[in-house]
Amino acid sequence: MNQFRALWAYRNFVLASIKGDLRGRFARSRLGALWFLLHPLAQAALFAIILSEVLAAKLPGVESKSGYAIFLLSGVAAWALFAEIVTRCLTVFIDYAGAMKKIAFPRICLPIIVGGSALLNHVLLIGATLAVFLFMGHVPGWALLVLPIGMALIGIFAFGLGVLLGVFNVFARDVAQATGVVMQLWFWMTPIVYTANVLPAHVAWWVSFNPMTPLVQIYQNALLYDRPPDWESLVTPAIVGGALFMLAFFVFRRASANLVDEL
């Protein structure tokens, strides 16, 4: 509770830092936030041309030629939020080592800042992705309203995992190298570029236990199929994410006294 009180006391510092982080991304850029639209637009054009037109890739039950491109972009958007929070929290204490040594503030503010920045970045990405979908002739329905639930579940899960790894990475830098490899394998073992029902039986078991599978499917179901998620399938990732979130605060509290010395 002391950590939550400290976060509330430094809320203006956190909000100002998130704002500064977003401004820093567009520093000396003439197009600024327009890049959030250009990147998914370029991705969508490649997916639509290569997958839909050249390879004639289609999804079962989806008549639109752009169906697979929309399926892929939806899954990539969900994974991008997870990956950004984890990878930025992984190195946040090392990246801000100078500030931690010179400025007195609650150290838990740092992962909150990068997590909040990632969420705002994701909201802009979703807006750009929706604009791309409209350009492709696809209009998402009312199921779009469940996306904040997906953002919250992914954010909690990624924050807990990222902070744990970030603390361990201060004491053993091999953690960052291993995490990069695991994240690549994890991406391909999550049904983003393929549907879960095409996997062979000896691999399909991983998808069923992968907590990112139902979280990615929230986006795919809402943006492509216009249907709500399977609420029962979200129980496990919600429990795992909540447990990791609380464990991350506990581990950080125990290790915070030694973080600066190790840096």
**Domain annotation covers residue 153:** yes
**Domain annotation covers residue 28:** no
Helix axes 147-171, 109-135, angle to 10 degrees: 140
CA 222 to mean position of chain CA atoms: 17
**Domain annotation covers residue 194:** yes
**Domain annotation covers residue 184:** yes
CA nearest to 158, candidates 125, 118, 127, 193: 118
**Domain annotation covers residue 244:** yes
Number of domain units in the chain? 1
Lowest mean pLDDT among 156-160, 201-205, 215-219, 239-243: 201-205
Q: Which residues contact 125 (CB under 8 A, 6 or more apart)?
A: 36, 40, 77, 80
**Domain annotation covers residue 77:** yes
- Percentage with pLDDT > 70 across the chain: 78
**Domain annotation covers residue 29:** no
**Domain annotation covers residue 45:** yes
CA angle, corner 64, sides to 61 and 69, nearest 5? 100
More confident residue, 233 or 12: 233
Range of the structural domain that residue 202 is part of: 2-22+34-262
